[in-house]
């Protein structure tokens, strides 16, 4: 009988201690202030690669004079244009915007150029008032300061997809000579479509 009473008392003490512990634990939990949710954090902006420095040559205001050959619009002609280039998005892109006028009418365009570290090449993305969206890859020869660009496009005559190859060569820092060659779908050779000269506009004091 005494043994049973001891067991019952021990069990009662154990239950009381357990419940008391739960109660104290609950009180402590109630007193704890709610933790603030972790705030979303963007990764740090990476340092622009050194290859982007070469694009600085394009930054500024420019005026263009050019001629287009019969293959471009069906007849030869000349035109003029103006465009502006500047660094944007923490110096990761050079953005250009301009327009040109000739016998063909007025052409307006915008473009972005950068160096893609993942693809290890220069890339550009262009848009115009004809609704054209094109992408291109570029290579740069620092010894001759020449840029070669390969892009997708549309043939003005047929409306067919076309491959375009352009050459841009700096003559000094304020003059840029260029040519535009095109091979439309179904053609086997590239044809010279346009060529011209861009001259830097002196900065206003």
Share the mean pLDDT of the chain.
84
d(CA 54, CA 96): 15
* Alpha carbon distances (Å) from 116 to 119, 124, 140, 147, 160: 5, 10, 14, 16, 29
CATH fit for domain 50-200, picks 3.40.30.10, 3.40.50.10470, 2.40.128.20, 3.30.930.10: 2.40.128.20
Nearest of 78, 79, 108 to residue 96 by alpha carbon = 108
Whole-number pLDDT of residue 82: 98
Q: Is the pLDDT of residue 11 over 50?
A: no
Q: Is the pLDDT of residue 13 over 90?
A: no
Residues, the chain, total?
A: 205
Which residue has 């040109």 as its token pair?
A: 100
d(CA 205, CA 197): 25
Phi, psi of 2 (to 5 degrees): -65, -40
The domain ranges of the chain are 1-31, 50-200
CB 100 within 8 A of CB 64: yes
Structure tokens at 95: 């953005």
Whole-number pLDDT of residue 78: 93
The whole-number average pLDDT for the span 143-157 is: 89
For 5-14, 19-28, 180-189, which range has the lowest pLDDT when averaged over its residues? Answer: 5-14
Task: Count the neighbouring beta carbons within 10 Å of the beta carbon of residue 147.
Answer: 22
* pTM to 2 decimal places: 0.76
Bridge-partner residues for 134, per DSSP?
126
Phi, psi of 173 (to 5 degrees): -100, -5
Which is it for strands 60-68 and 191-200: parallel, antiparallel or unpaired? antiparallel
Report how far Cα 128 is from the mean position of its chain's Cα atoms: 17
pLDDT digits over 47-87, tens only?
A: 999 999 999 999 999 999 999 887 777 788 999 999 999 99
pLDDT digits over 163-200, tens only?
A: 999 999 999 999 999 999 999 888 889 999 999 999 99
Strand segments, DSSP code E, in the chain are 60-68, 77-88, 93-102, 105-116, 121-128, 133-141, 146-154, 161-170, 175-184, 191-200
């Amino acid at each position: 009988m005494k043994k049973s009473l001891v067991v019952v008392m021990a069990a009662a003490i154990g239950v009381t201690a357990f419940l008391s512990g739960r109660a104290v634990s609950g009180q402590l939990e109630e007193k704890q202030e709610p933790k603030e949710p972790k705030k979303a954090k963007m990764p740090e902006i990476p340092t622009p690669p050194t290859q982007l420095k070469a694009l600085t040559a394009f930054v500024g205001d420019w005026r263009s004079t050019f001629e287009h050959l019969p293959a471009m619009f069906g007849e030869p002609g000349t035109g003029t244009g103006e465009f502006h280039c500047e660094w944007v998005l923490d110096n990761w892109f050079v953005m250009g915007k301009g327009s040109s006028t000739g016998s063909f009418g007025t052409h307006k365009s915008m473009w972005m150029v950068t160096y893609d570290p993942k693809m290890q090449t220069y890339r550009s993305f262009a848009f115009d008032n004809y609704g054209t969206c094109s992408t291109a890859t570029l290579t740069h020869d620092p010894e001759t300061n020449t840029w070669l660009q390969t892009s997708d496009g549309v043939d003005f005559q047929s409306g067919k997809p076309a491959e375009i190859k352009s050459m841009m060569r700096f003559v000094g820092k304020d003059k840029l000579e260029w040519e535009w060659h095109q091979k439309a779908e179904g053609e086997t050779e590239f044809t010279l479509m346009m060529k011209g000269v861009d001259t830097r506009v002196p900065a206003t004091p």
